[in-house]
Amino acid sequence: MNIGDVSDLSGLPTKTIRYYEDIGLVHPARGANGYRDFNEREAHRLTFLARARSLGFSIEECRTLLSLYADRSRASAEVKDLARDHLDRIAQKIRELDALRRTLETLVSQCHGDDRPDCPILDDLSGTLGKPT
Amino acid sequence: MNIGDVSDLSGLPTKTIRYYEDIGLVHPARGANGYRDFNEREAHRLTFLARARSLGFSIEECRTLLSLYADRSRASAEVKDLARDHLDRIAQKIRELDALRRTLETLVSQCHGDDRPDCPILDDLSGTLGKPT
DNA sequence: ATAGGTGTTCCAGTAACTGGAAGGTCAATG
DNA sequence: CATTGACCTTCCAGTTACTGGAACACCTAT
């Protein structure tokens, strides 16, 4: 398969696939014309990567997941730990964003938002008032 | 004030402050020795930036906010619009992360996580099963 | 004089791509 | 056979918002 085919298959842009080869996540063979030639296994690694990335795993986590996937004797506990760490980070990020959202909502609701110049949002940013949050 | 002083004041690392000067967010004067010399106004801009960044506004949004802040005649509606756009993006991000969290939670809960090799998480990533989410 | 704590510049690296230029290859058509 | 257009190649640069480090100047105090 050429790069365009695995791109269609995996949903990853060709640019990204070439990048993944650069950083050693896939190892396609090369045809006589210099084109990359993906076999089943390499194509499968790409769909695996696409899914793992869409779940928010970092490239390095994906690298680990791929090696765990290739290791037929690894314990599922290793994978679960990685996934749980990732889950914790996501949950933490959500909490942070939610705190941010609440602060911003308060500020936005306090700003009358008309053509007058006084603005509680800028007042907060400039620190001229006791800060909320 | 030297850069170290405004760093203490604003909570921003000196590296970041130099970077902010590079990209034109602050314009400190220079002393005879070549050291940056921050007056009240420039120091204030830095605390403004620190707060705006901590609320998740991008550098370019901060640039806009600073100019709106400097413009005594601007309408508060402009600021409110910017803040609301930002709020919308945050809310969207939260929704996405939450969907991710739910998917991962399902996967993690399905994995027995012991020393056996079979693992629903990897199965999902490899696409050998109907995908949840 | 010297030591430590500042400050300066400049270069490179981070994460994960993305865009674009310049050019080679392939399949089909006229 | 030539050409067209889609596809492929490599390489370089840019993105975001910094961060680290090297090499060097300066300032204060002992």
- Asked whether the beta carbons of residue A80 and residue B55 sit closer than 8 angstroms, the reply is no
B94/A86 Cβ within 8 A: no
Instruction: Tell me the CA distances in angstroms from A58 to A13, A72, A86, B53, B109, one per residue in order.
Output: 17, 22, 9, 24, 21
Q: Taking CB atoms and an 8 Å limit, are A104 and B87 in contact across chains? A: yes
Q: Please name the residue that has the structure tokens 């911003």.
A: A104
Amino acid at A44: H
In chain B, the domains with their CATH numbers are 1-57 (1.10.1660.10), 75-132 (no CATH)
What is the tens place of the pLDDT at every residue in B38-59?
A: 999 999 999 999 999 999 999 9
Helices B14-22 and B40-54, axial angle in degrees (round to 10): 100
3-state SS, residue B129: coil
Backbone angles phi, psi at A54, to 5 degrees: -65, -20
pLDDT tens digits, A81-125 = 999 999 999 999 999 999 999 999 999 999 998 988 899 999 999
pLDDT at B127: 79
* B34 C-beta less than 7 Å away from strand D: yes
Q: Which residue has the tokens 């949950």?
A: A91
Residue A132: pLDDT over 50? no
Nucleotide D26: nearest residue by CA–C1'? B33
Of A79, A103, A126, the CB nearest to B111: A79
Closest of A20, A82, A55 to residue B124, by C-alpha: A55
Q: How sure is the predictor about A131, in pLDDT bands with cuts at 50, 70 and 90?
A: very low
Which residue among B86, B94, B118 places its CB closest to the CB of A94? B94
The residue in chain A having the minimum alpha-carbon distance to the alpha carbon of residue B72 is A117
Q: At residue B132, does pLDDT exceed 80?
A: no
Tokens of B90: 């945050």
Q: What is the reported pTM?
A: 0.85
- Per-residue pLDDT tens for A59-93? 999 999 999 999 988 999 999 999 999 999 999 99
- Backbone φ, ψ for residue A131 (5° rounding): -80, 135
Q: Does B53 touch chain A (CB under 8 A)?
A: no
* Cβ-contact B79, B65 below 8 angstroms: yes
Task: Give strand letter and number of the nucleotide nearest B31 (CA to C1').
Answer: C7
> What is the pLDDT, as a whole number, of residue A15?
96
**What gap in Å lies between CA B51 and CA A127, rounded to an integer?**
8
Is the shortest CB-to-strand distance from B60 to strand D under 7 Å? Answer: yes
Q: In terms of C-beta density within 10 A (0-12 exposed, 13-18 middle, 19 or more buried), how is residue A110 classed?
A: middle
Nearest to A86 by CA among A64, A111, A101, A112: A64
Instruction: Say yes or no: B83 contacts chain A, CB-CB below 8 A.
Output: yes
Per-residue pLDDT for A24 more than 90?
A: yes
Residue B96 CB neighbours (<10 A): 12
Residue nearest to nucleotide C24 (CA to C1'): A33
pLDDT band of B72, cuts 50, 70, 90:
confident
Rounded to whole angstroms, the distance from the CA of residue B7 to the C1' of nucleotide C9 is: 19
Q: pLDDT band for position A127 (50/70/90)?
A: confident
Q: What's A117's DSSP letter? A: S
Instruction: Select from A44, A74, A83 the Cβ nearest to the Cβ of B126.
Output: A44
